[in-house]
Amino acid sequence: MSEIINEVRKGFYLDSVALMRLSAEISALGGIFEAVLMTGTPANQQIMKDAGLLNETGAAASANDLVIALRADGTSSANRALAHAQKSLQGKTKNTASADRRYSTLSSASAAAPEMNLALISTPGAYAAREAQLALDHGMNVMIFSDNVSVEKETALKRKARDLDLLVMGPDCGTAYINSVPLAFANAVAKGSTSVIAASGTGLQEFSVLLTQLGAGIRHGIGVGGRDMSDEVGAISTMMAIDLLAADELTDQIVLISKPPGEKTANAVFEKLASCGKPAIACVFGLKEITQTNIQQADTLLAAAEMAAGARLDVPDHPKNAQALVKDMNAKRKILKGLYTGGTLCTEAHLVLRDNNVHVSSNALQSDPSTPHQLIDLGADEYTLGKPHPMLEPAVRTPFLLDELNDPANAVIMLDIVLGYGAHHDPAHEVTQAMQSLQGVTDKPVVIGTVCGTRDDPQNYLQQCEALTQSGVILCSCNSEMAKLGAAILARL
């Protein structure tokens, strides 16, 4: 039998990232089946209700209150978890982030610092459009980190911004670089003259990291949100970004990273990009061919980075390496699995595997569910509803990884480890802990991985790589090369 316990802290606010991390920490305590810490907004209460974690105490909370909701094996475990939560929350206040200047509203910030012209919105989706609207009214460009903003509100915001000659990045814009300054989830990459328009957060991260490895760098990285190039939105921000980058004297070339645009929007986007007056590269996943001759087309993020940098990355001999990796593998192992934290990286791997005759099922792309090979984007909405994103809390992936490591049918398991500002301080740790379950096991799958990061990232890139390698993970130079190695391993079986 389990027990549902709710506790409410009146008038208490803490940012959602901190709450998600604390939720995962408490969920890992003994006797706790599940735990969430959320503000008591109607949307959050519905999430807790759907998860079976809300009782009358939590239902009485207001949007200004914090709800601690637990499912425990008994009162004793629940009390220990509540004490842990209270101790962790003690001393934390609304203004937990360090900053030279703090403001309680956009209006007060704009009045005190009228020179500011960019607002980053990271609120629950129900309030994000309202705050973005206010920022536009104050003459600010907007980056909407929040998701769960309707496409109708997104379109209305972008049309208004266009009329005001302002730019809206997002919603669900996880990464950006403005004047080479990283925003939200972003890596410490080199400054340069390449500017990017991306409907993808981890796609922009991977490209920027590879560009740095190849000796080039980023000028601007404008995230437009995954729906911007749909026919519903009409590529409003993408078209504006092309104009802005074409007029930027310090941008030498423009790179577009995206899934295929809507049919009505595609020609307009590519024609504008082809005629912008600067060299253009497009990495549009799943698109067979771009007919405009002034655009170089890249099938992978690595290919796009190599085109932009004018250099090549040294890559290993996958068939040779695969042969060595499977020489002692049990013949019953035939299956490939991938557990991803980056949605775009999952999509790219899906397509690379397909091009190498490995057909997989995935929640990132429409696919054949009958195939035994599977890739999972664990950052997708169905896995993060009321839970932290795996880039924020890598422990979210651990139960899935342990299951796959101990599945006797699996031959190869693919993992991405994403570093950078905003990401977990030690994402390799959970992987290395899970890998301990294979110590002393002779019949085991090959675990291959890729680290999206640079030597200047706060997590210490070299230490992360060393820890993963020591645990038995075979590291690849980038995501697409990892997918090629995965395909080569299956081919050698």
Write the pLDDT tens digit of every residue in 135-179. Answer: 999 999 999 998 889 999 999 999 999 999 999 999 999 999 999
Query: Whose CA is closest to 426, among 456, 364, 468, 386?
Result: 468
Q: Is residue 98 part of a domain?
A: no
* Neighbouring residues of 186: CB distance < 8 A, sequence distance ≥ 6: 175, 176, 177, 204, 205, 208, 221, 420, 421, 422
CB 32 within 8 A of CB 22: no
Look at residues 309, 331, 352 and tell me which one is the last residue of a structural domain: 309
280 plus 426 within the same structural domain = no
Percent of residues in the chain assigned helix, strand, coil, to nearest 5: 40, 20, 40
Q: Is residue 113 part of a domain?
A: yes
Low-confidence ranges of the chain (pLDDT < 70): 1, 17, 91-101, 385-386
pLDDT in the model for residue 465: 97
Q: Under DSSP, is residue 18 helix (H, G, I), strand (E, B) or coil?
A: helix
303 plus 335 within the same structural domain = no
Query: Whose CA is closest to 465, among 412, 426, 407?
Result: 426
Q: Is residue 71 part of a domain?
A: yes
pLDDT in the model for residue 97: 44
How many Cβ atoms sit within 10 Å of the Cβ of residue 379?
25
Look at residues 250, 281, 309 and tell me which one is the last residue of a structural domain: 309
CA distances from 461 to 174, 413, 427 (A): 21, 22, 11
Look at residues 309, 336, 362 and tell me which one is the last residue of a structural domain: 309
Q: Supply the CATH number for residue 464's domain.
A: 3.40.50.261
CB 35 within 8 A of CB 41: no
279 plus 363 within the same structural domain = no
One-letter amino acid at 302 equals L
**pTM for this structure?**
0.87
246 plus 344 within the same structural domain = no
357 plus 268 within the same structural domain = no
Full residue range of the structural domain in which residue 198 is found: 106-309
420 plus 343 within the same structural domain = yes
291 plus 397 within the same structural domain = no
113 plus 240 within the same structural domain = yes
The total number of structural domains that make up the chain: 3
77 plus 201 within the same structural domain = no
303 plus 183 within the same structural domain = yes
295 plus 344 within the same structural domain = no
156 plus 52 within the same structural domain = no
